[in-house]
Amino acid sequence: MKLSKNINTQFVEVISMIKQARYTAIRSVNAEQIKLYWQVGEYISKKLESAQWGEGVVEGLADYIQTTNPEFKGFTRRGLYRMRQFYETYRHNQIVSPLVTQLSWTNHLMILSKTKGIEEKEFYIRLSIKESYSKRELERQIDSGYYERAMLSRKKAFPLIAHQHPQAVDAFKDSYVLDFLSLPKTYNEKDLQQSIVANLKDFILEFGRDFSFIGQEYRIQVGNHDYFLDLLFFHRQLRCLVMVE
């Protein structure tokens, strides 16, 4: 049966509703899981702090869970101590604790194991929520020292940009990690451009997810003259074009 264009459009709207509902359901399940891990971590922490339990009791709890309910995954001795660490790390932080349910447990474990101070942890939690980072993308940003580079950039003066567009200070960084381009020790501008285009996804992620690639050698006309931009991007949050020369 041949359907009209208008009907097909309505069908697409239904598909969009289904996808949105599934996404909301997944987020709800994740939030409940994080709440559970927080509660378990809090319970263990308080038992240990009050000396009602010794360290060996936690291992006994892990064995008991695995014996009585083997279908419960993640509640090993290591997992239980991670839940305790999770709770004790953020329990006194009134800024971070409301955010924790918005992040997956996998990303929480990454941040707990790979970062140091609470400021750095908060930075990556907020970044992961904002950019919807996968484990791999978050690990790449941590390993590249994104936090350190962002802090150095903020210490430098951008008075005009910061006044007009506060988000712009975070959108642009002074230095970028281009190891993924696999460039030789000596390279020219053409080599850099070709490598960037070949690895465009990682390059845009290095800039930030708000950047969308528009084109390479993009032609623009100014008066009677044609100019070709090496790379042209659009930044969704700032709502402006960004050219790379």
* pLDDT tens column, 36-67: 999 999 999 999 999 899 889 999 999 999 99
**pLDDT (0 to 100) of residue 236:** 76
Residue-by-residue DSSP string for the chain: ----HHHHHHHHHHHHHHHHHHHHHHHHHHHHHHHHHHHHHHHHHHHHHTTSS-HHHHHHHHHHHHHH-TT--S-SHHHHHHHHHHHHHHTT-TTTGGGGGGS-HHHHHHHHHH--SHHHHHHHHHHHHHHT--HHHHHHHHHTTHHHHHHHHHHS--HHHHHH-HHHHHH--S----GGG---SS--HHHHHHHHHHTHHHHHHHH-TTEEEEEEEEEEEETTEEEEEEEEEEETTTTEEEEE-
Low-confidence ranges of the chain (pLDDT < 70): 1-8, 153-185, 187, 189-190, 192-194, 196-209, 245
70-94: pLDDT as tens digits: 999 999 999 999 999 999 999 999 8
**pLDDT (0 to 100) of residue 157:** 41
| Global pTM value | 0.63
**pLDDT (0 to 100) of residue 204:** 64
The domain locations on the chain are 1-91, 176-244
